[in-house]
Amino acid sequence: NAGVMQNPRHLVRRRGQEARLRCSPMKGHSHVYWYRQLPEEGLKFMVYLQKENIIDESGMPKERFSAEFPKEGPSILRIQQVVRGDSAAYFCASSLRWGQEGQFFGPGTRLTVL
């Protein structure tokens, strides 16, 4: 049973470009969460999605960031007009149901903004 998959693993963008990060949850999981780990910081919650629905995006910056989890295909975290401060590791997690079995994390995408 494949775990949570994320791609790309490393992404380099220049300031002003767009970054698209993809996450495929574990088989059978319909809950997806995105977290960001800034250098020297702990992981911070960004957004929680179920298929075709954004449940909670309270941790996501209001500008330039968006997320989706379509009926078919992976969840996408999109960052428009990236700035150096967006450089971080972005982790996706999935769960079968929220809470009971915990969240299972992918390997992360390391975004570097030049």
| 48 in contact with another protein (CB under 8 A) | yes
Contact between residue 21 and residue 82 where contact means Cβ atoms under 8 Å apart? no
Q: Considering only the stretches 13-21, 40-48, 62-70, 71-79, report the one whose residues sit in contact with another protein under the rule CB under 8 A.
A: 40-48
Is residue 69 near another protein by the rule CB under 8 A?
Answer: no
Q: Does 25 bind another protein (CB under 8 A)?
A: no
DSSP-based three-state secondary structure for 28: coil
Based on the number of CB atoms within 10 Å of its own CB, is 39 exposed (0-12), middle (13-18) or buried (19 or more)?
exposed
**Applying CB under 8 A, does 41 fall inside the site for another protein?**
yes
